[in-house]
Structure formats: C-alpha cells, structure tokens
Structure 1
Amino acid sequence: MASFFLCLSLLFISLSTADGFKMYVVSRCDFNSTELKDIKYIRAYYYNKIEYARFDSDVGKFVGYTDFGVKQAKYFNSHPGRLAAARAEKERYCHNNIGVWYKNILTKSVKPYVKLHSTTPAYSQHPAMLVCSVYDFFPSKIKVSWLRDGQEVTSDVTSTEEMADGDWYYQTHSHLEYTPRSGEKISCKVEHASLEKPLITDWDPSSDSSMPESERNKLAIGASGLILGLILSLAGFIYYRPVHT
C-alpha cells in the first residue's frame, strides 16, 4: 500500500479569559511511514492565535518567533532536562502511537465504484467524450487509464486530482476525447490498493442514458437493421437450400 502523510494533533493546554486572551500548546506527529526516520515531532506554543515558539525534532531544540518567544526558547534550551524530554517525545509519543494508527486505520482500504458515461465536448477536435468517474475509495492514491481495443490510450486524456469527500472517501474523474470507430471497445481501467487486479469497465453505448436521444435512436435503428438483415439472410438460405432426392 502506498505511504500516507498524516498529521495528528493533541491539544494539551487551553486557557482563556473574558477578554479573549488565549494561550495553548499543540503537539503533533507528522509522518509518512512507521520508521522513526520518517517521523517528525512538533510542539508549538501559541498566544492569541500567534505561534511564538516551537520545538521541532528535526531541529533538536526550541526556536522562538517573537521577542517573547525567543526569550522562552532560550529559557527552555538552557534546561537540559526539559530539552531531553522534548527530544524523547518523537519516539515515546509519536513512534509508539503511529504503529497503532497504521495497524488499525491506515492499512484499511475500500474498493472504488466506477461509473462510465458519455458527454458532448464543448470545444474539441473530437465529436465525443467519455467520462470515467470513480467514487468512494480509500486510500486516496489511485490510477485511472483508458483502453481502446485492449491497448492503453495516452493522448486526449485529462484527469482530475483525487478529491476528498470529507468522510475518508475520495473520488476522481478521467475524460477521454475520441472519434468513434465501428466495432471498437473502449474501457476504463482502475488500479487501487484495495483491488487484487485492475478493475476494467467496458463502455456500453446502448445502456448509456447520457447519450443524446438522436444518437440512441441511430444506434437502435442500426442494431435493428443488423438483426433484420441476419433474419432475411437466414430465411433466404433456408428457402433456396437445394433439396436432394
């Protein structure tokens, strides 16, 4: 499964008065794997929404951002015990908890749902466009591609970024501009961590309710003509079949 970047925060202190002054401290772990080298611990100090000092495990000491913050950082750094405790939080707090988060949350995956339909392009050298919409998948990393008679299409394809739905699920949309050819098969191919093998959805023009009515009528007339032709050919073959005596 592809790696993730997740920031989890814990609010330790929150003090406020009737006049609206507020001081709070936020500790968080930034990571993209369970390896200690891929983890950063940050403890940020705020006053009235302004960050005045922080400890960053990549820096290894406290740093101030305002006059007061510079004094506080100097004070914190002058106490070996406090500095050592802050440096130990990366392993004690982040590393130990991230193992639990990965095991119980980040290893889960949800299979995508695919909807394939056609639309008319507003400005294009091609007369038709197909849209492959992929919904309700997790994690966010996904690959959507197009196949034409089994071969991947690399031109006239545009895709959106993976978009969060706000409920842990994601969606994405891929567009293919094309010129229809008789007898061809166009498919949308989706590759995702939740799938054992790629999910391939073939476009069926006859079931595409988004096609213009005139196009559906042409398709129905063409199919009817083909069936009628087969029936007449079969009838003629039976009628003119020589009779052996």
Structure 2
Amino acid sequence: RWQLLLLLSITDGYYWSRWNKCIHGSRDFSDMVFVDNYIFNKDVYIQFNSTVGEYVGYTAHGVYNADLWNKDTNILQQERAEVDRYCKHNAELYQSAIADKTVPPKVKLSSVTQAGGRHPAVLMCSAYRFYPHGIKVSWMRDGAVVKTDVTSTEEMPNGDWYYQIHSHLEYTPKSGEKISCAVDHAGLTKPIIIDWDPSLPESERNKIAIGAS
C-alpha cells in the first residue's frame, strides 16, 4: 500500500488534506484498487474509488462537487487511469526492489535442556535473519525424515524485515546414529544440512551454518 498526502492549512484550526492510496493483495496486481480521499478536518467528504469508477460525496458540499466532477469526462478518465499509471507502476518498482529479494538464513544446531519432556535429550535447530518468511525446517535420523516428537515455532518477524524460526526435536540418544537438521529457503541454492555430533566439544557442537544464495 502506498499513500500520498497533500496537506493545506486554510485558517487556524482548519485543515484540508488529500490522501491517495493504492491497495492490492495479489502479486500480479490484478486486484489493485486506487482510492483518492478529499478530507476536511479528518472527515472524508469526497472519495474516488477505482472499483466504483466515479466520485462519491459524503457531505452536502461533497455531493455537490462529486456530481460536478463526475460530469467532467477528462477528470474521470484521469482518475481511472491512476490504477495503471500510479499504482501498478509503483507496485512493480517496489516488488522488484524489495519483495522479490531473498536473504538466506543462518542456521544453528544446539543442545538445549527441557523440563518434563518425553525423552532425555532435546536438540534445537534455529534459522535466523532470512527473507522472505517462507521456510522449511525438518529433522532426519540416519537419513529418514522424523515426523514425531518435533515442535516448531511459526516464522517470527524480527521487526527489521528479517525472520527467525526454531524447531525442537526430543529424542533418546542411540549409539552410532546420525541426527541432522535440514533447512530449505528461497534464498538458498540447496538446503542447509547440519549433522549433530555429540562426540565433539561443546564449542564445536553448537554449529552455525550460512547458506549460499
């Protein structure tokens, strides 16, 4: 959504403003809507909405001007064209500059303590600072995907465009088995796979991997 504000102070305590909004939910902008609000002291008195295709007045003064502007084909054509000229044009620039960018995750595999679990050991696989939010975290034991005793958070926003997610695996250690965490994301050319090796020192076991985009 984009907004353009034009603000004009008429006299002390009275303000006239105009807000333009572009609203869409689809990536192809097929549902793009252009809204042009005329506001006096925070109240909308005239609005053009591209889904309606003409001006609508909400006060006596607004109705008078809306009827007048709707009779002017040049004004209506200009407003109706803003969906493509202003909204879709800027949406394409925004999407190519931000929305289509990807940042691969940093992945950390560590052992954590958990009270009251079904198993004596818990591993946590964490993915940090990735964009966009879609990501897949899975566990494997000796190459087989684990479906049980796994809990994961949702993708959580950091507040700086990046996201993080944490997945836990409760398990009972078995001699000689290999436990791995696999992370797949749009910013990666191939999934990141980290193997857990309890024989390594603590500093080596808590691994952090950075994927290649």
- Structure 1 length normalisation: TM-score? 0.67
| Cα distance per residue 1:47-98 (max 9 Å; x no partner) | 565666654434445567xx53x97368436633444333221111122222
Identical aligned residues as a percent: 46
SS in 2 for 1:79: helix
Larger helix proportion of the pair: 1
Shift in alpha-carbon separation, 1:78–1:186, aligned structure 2, 3 A: farther
Offset of residue 176 of structure 1: 1.7
Pair 1:149 & 2:139 matched: no
Deviates more, 1:132-141 or 1:43-52: 43-52
Structure-1 separation of matches of 2:129 and 2:145: 24
Gaps of 5+ in 1: 1-6, 212-245
Aligned equivalent of 1:28, options 3, 22, 33: 22
Between the aligned partners of 1:149 and 1:106, the Cα distance in structure 2 is 37
Deviation larger for 155-164 or 184-193: 155-164
Pairing partner for 2:194 from 192, 198, 201: 201
SS at match of 1:84: helix
Q: Which amino acid aligns with 2:85?
A: R
Letter aligned with residue 148 of structure 2: S
Q: Which amino acid aligns with 1:185?
A: K
Could you list the runs of 5+ residues in structure 2 that have no partner in the other structure? 206-213
**Greater RCO (CA < 8 Å, at least 6 residues apart):** 2
Compared CA separation, residues 122 and 101, structure 1 to 2 (3 A) = same
After superposition, the Cα gap between the structure-2 partners of 1:184 and 1:94, relative to the gap in structure 1 and judged at 3 Å, is same
Q: Give 2:110's match in structure 1, choosing from 113, 117, 130.
A: 117
Output the CA distance in 1 between the equivalents of 2:111 and 2:186: 27
For residues 118-133 of structure 1, the aligned pairs below 5 Å read 118-133=111-126
Is 1:173 the counterpart of 2:163? The answer is no
Change (3 A) 1:79 1:40: same
| Number of equivalenced pairs | 200
- TM-score, normalised with respect to structure 2: 0.75
State which structure, 1 or 2, has the greater radius of gyration over its C-alpha atoms. Answer: 1
Which structure features the higher share of strand residues?
Answer: 2
RMSD of aligned residue pairs (Cα, Å): 3.2
Task: Tell me: CA distance 1:128–1:91, structure 2 relative to 1, closer, same or farther (3 Å).
Answer: same
After TM superposition, give the deviation of residue 200 of structure 1 in Å.
0.9
1:223 maps to which residue? none
2:175 paired with 1:182: yes
